[in-house]
Amino acid sequence: MREAVLVDAVRTPSGRGKPGGALSGVHPVDLAAGALRALVERNGLEDALVDDVLLGCVSQVAEQSTNVARQAVLAAGFAETVPAATFDRQCGSGQQAVQSAAHAIMAGTADVVIAGGVESMSRVPLGSAAASGSPVSPLLRERYPEGLVSQGIAAELIAAKWGLSRQALDAYAAESHHRAAAAAAAGLFASQLVPVESPAGLVEVDETIRAATTADALAALPPAFRTDAAAARFPELDWRVTAGSSSPLTDGASAVLLMSAERAAELGLRPRAVLRSFAVVGDDPLMMLTAPIPATRRILDRAGLTIDDIDAYEVNEAFASVPLAWLDEFGADPARLNPWGGAIALGHALGSSGTRLLGTLIAYLEHTGGRRGLQVMCEGGGMANALIIERV
């Protein structure tokens, strides 16, 4: 089987996903188009050589409807012969795009694929996709008569099950900002960042990092997801999750250039990493965000590795309780977990996060001389994608 290699990774800065955010004046198609165009231009690649473009996007309505990936390909000025498809595996949509692109390359049905994602949460708010009707059908209601819950409540259930205190959640969130701020100040994101022209001016840095955040300041925030109905249903919860220990609403786009090793050699492009192993799992949809744990177990088993064989792990910080529960389960090294900060600081532009994490992971491995990286994403509905890369 052929190897799928990563040649390059780019992303826009992270913008606050609310009106007035740094990227809120930019159409999501154009956000994605900028990332696509940057990839081909900085690698001297003729766009017509791209066999496919696969993008993740969660809210596929309004400005992100009608196959946003194809609209972005055309907006980027690519040859009209370049096809595209849009994926929805919730927060793992961008990572699923990467895995599907790699599978096509490994199977020999494609040689060059761009994978990525986009989400403008300021222009297409979270929940927009279900605005005109509920996805909860009679059969689904029959299976779960008490109803499933929001991700915020799932994060609370995880905090309770793993005994994660409010202080632990706040401390983790503050550390995410501190790590991201230190990495940004050292220019460690520079190789990935693609500036974006917005109506308000050029956006060149992440808007979501708060370098001055402290655990004491976060301790003053109220619980974000408590309602009277939820409190009555889950009396065991003491409501520890706040906006500060949750990822913020975010605008952004990201993309990676993947190829077969043979095509990269033909084009004179140097691979930066090989995509070694993949896994996707389903888990309890009520707890919802616990699937990174069985996904990690599955991918390590498939790869014949242990957690100690991994030099860095990107476990998406949808909420602080998710990586902390994962850390507890594996007894992993906290210093290797999201070492340049995670989504709490760098933002969680839903469909884009999978490739944003991948770009950060390979940049970190290159900076430190590490060999292997693990990336795992929790996803709505109780799923997770896992990916192992090896630096070359």
| Amino acid symbol at 121 | M
Among candidate residues 57, 177, 178, 348, the one labeled active-site is 348
CB hemisphere CA count around 281 (13 angstroms): 20
Residue with tokens 């619980």: 223
Residue with tokens 């994490």: 357
DSSP for 252-321?
A: EEEEEEEEEHHHHHHHT----EEEEEEEEEE--TTT-S-THHHHHHHHHHHHT--GGG-SEEEE--SBTH
How far is the C-alpha of 98 from the C-alpha of 6, rounded, in Å? 10
Whether 91 is a known active-site residue: answer: yes
**CA separation, residue 354 to residues 109, 170, 198, 275 (Å):** 23, 24, 24, 14
**CA separation, residue 251 to residues 11, 15, 199, 212 (Å):** 11, 5, 15, 22
Among candidate residues 57, 177, 178, 378, the one labeled active-site is 378
Whether 348 is a known active-site residue: answer: yes
How far is the C-alpha of 390 from the C-alpha of 392, rounded, in Å? 6
How far is the C-alpha of 312 from the C-alpha of 291, rounded, in Å? 19
Among candidate residues 57, 91, 177, 178, the one labeled active-site is 91
How far is the C-alpha of 299 from the C-alpha of 322, rounded, in Å? 18
**Of the candidates 91, 71, 94, the residue with the CA atom closest to the CA atom of residue 83:** 71
Active site (catalytic) residues = 91, 348, 378
